[in-house]
Structure 1
Amino acid sequence: MTMANTILLTIHEKLPEMSQTEQQLGDYILNHAEQVVRFSIAELAQESGVSQATIVRFAKHLSLDGFKTLKVELAGINNDETPLYEEVAPTDTLDVIKQKLALRTQHSIETTNQQLEDETLDQAVNLLQKAKVIHVYGLGASDLVAQDVTQKFSRVGKVTINSQDTHQMAVNLLLPDRPQVMVLISNSGQTVETVKLGQLAVQQQIPVIALTTNPKSSLGQLASLVLLTDGTESHSKVRSAATTSLLSQLYVIDLIYYRYLQQDYTANVSNLTASSELVGKFFRQSK
């Protein structure tokens, strides 16, 4: 698998949000990736039937500097690998499924890294350090991420509250004055329950850390900090992009967690050791 295949996946996933002429160009590149590397911008315009200006806009849409950068991204493409950007198909072998999912996972992590700003991550860690209580919520698959936050931070001695009962989560926000923070996870940033809890947290003057793909969403707009995750949308019935978006969220939580550990490494490792010994003593004893 080449790194260049991630650019094919990016093109494939962004096509639905592009103009008609950009879609035409994208389809041509997906079907003739190796040839495009040898083309000048004028030759690509002629072969694909679009203007040179469309090619420049297309590259910008992919967050690339221009056509030359696009060619560099495509330079490592192998004909046998090109279909890996496509969704899992009924006829795929297990090996092909493995390669497709590995590619999507790689693409998701790369995209997340490009979007995340170190300063924002450190600000999130600072809020978590100051908080005596961490409230965390996500609905559906996002609850898996919320559970991961709960498991990680409770083991380093933080009071971490997580429940699927939104009414109880709302009541928890009324705890007596003590430093608190709320971590909310929503891929779209528009999940009603998540947004409402965020609004209540803001009313209670509790800072909100949001994990979402869309900073302009309702959740993104109300949050104190927004940690952007992979924004790849799933346009197919099998929704493999939804799986990799989940991995992107878990990856961001890992970044925050290990950065948090660094801030007081000795004490945090001591807490981890104590929690591990406690579990080992009471729940893993051999009879």
Structure 2
Amino acid sequence: MLDTLDHQENHLDTLYRAMAERRFLVLTGAGISTSSGIPDYRDSEGVRRGRAPMMYQEFLATAQARRRYWARAMLGWPRVRIAQPNQAHLALATLQQRERISGLITQNVDTLHDQAGSHDVIELHGSLHRVLCLDCQQRSTRDVIQRQMEIDNPYLAEVHAVQAPDGDTLLDPTFEERFQVPRCPHCNGERLKPDVVFFGENVAPATAARAMAAVEHADGLLVVGSSLMAYSAFRLCKAMVEQGKPVIAINLGKTRGDELLQVKIEASCERLLPLLAERLGQ
């Protein structure tokens, strides 16, 4: 743990030696956004917290499942919407602007890297800020859909629910029965889906190809705040190792890829990354 100045300096030296002459690709997970107020999925042992998220197949199967999803998501969106990048996001944006990293891939759907100033971010799992119509394939901004839901469901205005990962909430099921699902502004269809990769859904082939191309062009991989339990992220670590390139992780707790890591630093990325950006900028 990053609990003393000595530990902090040792971690910083390790990262500096690895990255001073090489341009690493960075892969971020939920752990980088927790201090921005967005909960993560797993504990330090990699075990999922709370209830299981809705699966893609369940979402597609019934109107009732989509009603349940959107009722909970309507209450969860405001917290995601107001979240601000923290010092870790800002440090990575600085490293990219100075061309000290080769690129940035995120598993997160909160767009905090973009808000911090990063560019060409590969959103492995999409973005909650967009909504996709499964009928006409048109996209809408989430704020437009949110306003529609709030107008159609005023009874939820004073309801407070516990925040869960990815804009979900722990809403009492009794509040879901009356919920009016949003309709597509383009075709009036009812099958709207957040433009994210659900559990049980595959990453879009074009996105997967971009991520693998980024691995090919990088000198190494720095994993930040990810347990790597999702195969879409784990496979990037495997590919990097198969190419003989180093993989380093900054993560508080167990990862699926522990055996692949050249170095693992159990430390706060929000403290460590700004120091790394400063050191590499000298």
Q: Same fold (TM over 0.5)?
A: no
Q: Normalising to structure 1: TM-score of the pair?
A: 0.38
Higher relative CO (Cα under 8 Å, sequence separation at least 6) belongs to: 2
Q: Normalising to structure 2: TM-score of the pair?
A: 0.39
Larger relative helix fraction? 1
